[in-house]
Amino acid sequence: MLTFSDFDSRGYPTVDVRTGYAGWAATYENTVEDVMDLALLDALTAPDWSAVHRAADLGCGTGRTGVWLREHGVPHVDGVDLTPEMLTVARERGVHDRLVEGEATSTGLEGDTYQLVIASLVDEHLPDLGAFYSEASRLATQDARFVVVSYHPQFIISTGMPTHFTDDSGESFTIATHLHLVSDHVTAALEAGWALEEMREGVIDDRWIAAKPKWAKHRNLPISAAYVWKTSH
């Protein structure tokens, strides 16, 4: 298993997930780029979003993914997140039926309930992908899909850039980042009974460089990945 610290090029102080996202919640929406995750969701040909009655949004944050799901025909979305400050923003947004403060790997949500489980930009904060894929499997109905959008390991390795934020005083912090290879995802997903239906990768392209001109040096480097898993039983 690879360790992020072996690649860290920034050397920011590291904070845990709750501390980090509590500090980032107020500015999170201004800094995260839709091309990172929502553009990948747009590119997927599966699942049939409008066929989903109820979705579980793991690591729902401020509700960006929930808004996207509702706009694509999913009528009911339940969200789980570890960080109360992120949930406060999501609550104000009002797109989720339920918002629960909890762990993505042990949500406490009812099992065998969701035609879609989704986790966008969350797994790099999880030390254990096995528990993550197993919990999604427990929540899923038969013939459900699990959509995972990830910060791409190749970008983390090549740039040494952790998930990070800058606070009001201008100091930057790493939010504890775990490095999971694509094969780590595949292995954990297969063990939890998932089969891969579709995968897309997002690279640094003109959209990215328009938003972040300094990233021209990263052109064509994969930065995000979307996996669509389906139940294999």
Ligand X SMILES: C[S@@+](CC[C@H](N)C(=O)[O-])C[C@H]1O[C@@H](n2cnc3c(N)ncnc32)[C@H](O)[C@@H]1O
Binding site for ligand X (CB under 6 A): 17, 21, 32, 37, 59-61, 64-65, 80-83, 86, 103-104, 120-122, 125-126
CB 59 within 8 A of CB 126: no
Least Å distance, CB 57 to ligand X, is: 7
Nearer to ligand X, 21 or 146 (CB): 21
- Residue 141 CB, shortest distance to ligand X, in Å, is 21
How near is the Cβ of 177 to ligand X at its closest, in Å? 11
| Residue with nearest beta carbon to ligand X | 61
Q: How far is the CB of 61 from ligand X (least distance, A)?
A: 3
Phi, psi of 42 (to 5 degrees): -60, -35
Question: Nearer Cβ to ligand X, position 115 or 163?
Answer: 163
CB nearer ligand X, residue 129 or residue 144: 129
Q: Which is nearer to ligand X, 102 or 222 (CB)?
A: 102
Q: Which is nearer to ligand X, 107 or 115 (CB)?
A: 107
Q: Write down the least CB distance from residue 233 to ligand X, Å.
A: 26
